[in-house]
Structure formats: C-alpha cells, structure tokens
Amino acid sequence: MGFFSKDIKTLDDLFIHMLRDIYYAEKKIERSLPKMIGLATDPQLKAGFEKHLEQTKGHIDRVEQVFELHGVKAKAVSCPAIDGILEEADEVSADIDDREVLDAALIASAQAVEHYEMTRYGTLIAWAKQLGRSDCANVLAKNLKEEQATDRKLSEMAENRINLLAA
C-alpha cells in the first residue's frame, strides 16, 4: 500500500497505514539499538539504551496487540522517515573519534528517534479515539508514555553533560 496510491480511502485505512509505519519503525529501532549500546561510553547512557531496547520489544508487542484488536494482520510498511533518521545517526557517529563527542551525538540521534515515535503515537491515539477505539488508544498511550519518559531522560543526560563541561 503506497502512500500516494489510492488505497487509503477512510480514516480507518489511514490509521492502519500509520500503524504499519510505526510497526516498521519500532522493528528498525530494535535492530539499531544494539549498535548504539556498543558505541555509548557513558555508563548511564549505555544502561538507558539497554533499558529502551527492552521497552522497544514491548512496544512491538503492543503494536501487534492493536493490530489484533483492530482485526487486521500485523504488517509493516517501509518508513523512509525513520530510515533517514537512523542513516544520519550512523553517518554522524562514523565521523566521530572523541568518545565524549560521540555520546553527545548518540543522545541527539536518540532524541530524534523518540520524537519521531512520539509524533506517530500522538496521531495514532487521536485517530483511534476519533474512530471510537479507545481500547486501541489506551494500548498506544502506554508506548507514548515510555517514549516521552525516555526523551526526558535523554534531555537530562544532555543537560548534565553541559553542566559538567561548564564546571
């Protein structure tokens, strides 16, 4: 189902399309996090990525749960947006030697990923409610909450680093 084809006729179709998009994104993030764990030097950052990898597996399960609630087969549709964010993250980290600078880059890349997920879950929750599917909205809200908490933790780490550098 291409975004510009005419397969998407209703809000329900669009909801399913976006569910497939975030399903693809979550699976891609699951495959990317081990590399970020390997690159991170700061123990707190490394542990944060490890925790989020576990959470991401849970996000995939919850998205599958929403497919099931909605009565459609779980299927991914490629998401060039997350591909681009992760590709850029790879390119930048490959260009950095300094471990401190690399950690800063990893935090920034991870926040870009979290913000992408947050915007998708925010939209999906709004559409689920509009479609009268508060059951789906409730499951998706659990993922959104964990993405937001992760983003906040990354912000804290970024700010702590700035304070350390200023000290």
The answer to whether residue 59 forms part of the interface with Fe ion (CB under 5 A) is yes
Binding Fe ion (rule: CB under 5 A), the pick from 103, 147, 153, 154 is 147
Q: Which stretch binds Fe ion (CB under 5 A): 35-43, 83-91, 118-126, 139-147?
A: 139-147
Least distance in Å: CB of 143 to Fe ion? 6
Q: Which of the ranges 36-44, 72-80, 123-131, 141-149 carries the binding residues for Fe ion, by CB under 5 A?
A: 141-149
> Which of 124, 127, 128 lies closest to 116, judged by CA?
124
Structure tokens given for 128: 């689920």
Q: Measure the CA–CA gap between 71 and 117, rounded to whole angstroms.
A: 23
Distance CA 137, CA 11 (A): 15
Interaction pattern, residues 10-49, with Fe ion; x per rule: CB under 5 A: ----------------------------------------
Window 108-127: residues binding Fe ion (CB under 5 A):
117
Torsion sign (Cα): 47, 32, 22, 112: positive
Nearest residue (CB) to Fe ion, 51 versus 99: 51
Spatial CA neighbour of 99 closest among 25, 155, 43: 43
* Cβ atoms of 63 and 19 closer than 8 Å: yes
Q: Interface residues with Fe ion (CB under 5 A)?
A: 56, 59, 117, 147
